[in-house]
Structure formats: C-alpha cells, structure tokens
Structure 1
Amino acid sequence: MPGGDETATGGFSDGTRRHALQILAEALGWRAHPVLWRDIAEAVEELWAAAGGTDSAALAAATTELEAVSPERANPAGQDSGEPPPKPVRERIVETQHRLGKEKK
C-alpha cells in the first residue's frame, strides 16, 4: 500500500507517486468498451488534477478510483475487451505521467 515513505516529486510520498505512475502505465495498455472509456477518462482527469497538487492522500484516492474503473474490474468475465485508449485519454495519461515526473529506472 502506498503512503508514508519519504517525500518525492511534488510533495508526494515515493510510494504514492510510484503507484500512480504504475497504474497510469497499465492504463495505456487497457482495452475497454467506449462507454467504459468515458468513466476511465473522468478518473484520469481526477488523477491529473491531483497530480498538480501536493496532497498524497488526494493522489492516492484518485489512483484508487482509476484502478476501480479498470477494464479488469469493470468488464464482466468473458466480455470482449474492446478498444485501446482514445487519443484524448491516451494524451491525458501521458501528460499526467509527466506532471508526476517519469519513474527513474
């Protein structure tokens, strides 16, 4: 669980920031029905807004919301997995990654 470790980029704890970057990277590979992409887009916007602040709890909550609408959790088992991220969603995901600072390898 992300949280309480040392402060990193933007005042976020390293664990919270890493977890958000991990979920954002996964989201770039998601395939979903267009209706689900609307929910995902809203969650990405919340995460983008949280990434512009310094509140680790807000970033963690927005990351959890994005995870909750992931195709793996939202699509019934066996349903067609759908389409890759629409261009505006993909672009906002990448912008959010940059706002958080890319993970150092």
Structure 2
Amino acid sequence: MGNKGGSNVTLVNVDKLPGLNTLGISLARLDYTPSSLNPPHTHPRGTELLVVIEGTLLVGFVTSNPNKLFTKVLNKVDVFVFPVGLIHFQFNIGKTNALAFASLSS
C-alpha cells in the first residue's frame, strides 16, 4: 500500500503465503523514493527487524517513560530492530530510491 510520504509497503502474510501459517512471522517489502517517509506507526503485537537492501535510510523509534528518540542512519546491508509497540519511522535521506525488507514477529 502506498502513502502520501512516497513510500510503498508490500505485505507478505499468511493470506499471500500460506506457508507462514502458525510461524508467527510476516514480511514486508518497503520501497522509498528520494526524500520519502514511511510515517510514524506502531506494531502493537510484534517486533520489526529491518534490512536495508539499497539506499540510505534514517530510522528511529521513541521509547516511553521517559520519552526518548533513538535514530540511526542505515546503509546497504545494515540491520535495525524496532521493539514491539514503539512508535517508529523510516525516511529516505538519499538521492536515489531505497529498498528494505522487514520481518515482523506477529
């Protein structure tokens, strides 16, 4: 599904890949145009593992109690974990398209 931020998320879950049934995981392909954003969102039931395939992403999440923002610039082959339930985002800070794959534990 696309969004106004210029990124596109293609989900792969048990509905599209029945072999995932009962494994407790799902996958997503994330495509970003330059300066595009996958806006702040949460996954209340699962941790997300993000792997950058192409491009450069600024990623981050916000903890609660106390509220603290953690960010990191990721390049090709970098991996990042977004803990379950925390607000997080990805932003393509590069001048080219970016591609990443995410795995979710729910």
Structure 1 length-normalised TM:
0.24
Greater fraction of residues in helix: 1
Question: TM-score, normalised to structure 2's length?
Answer: 0.24
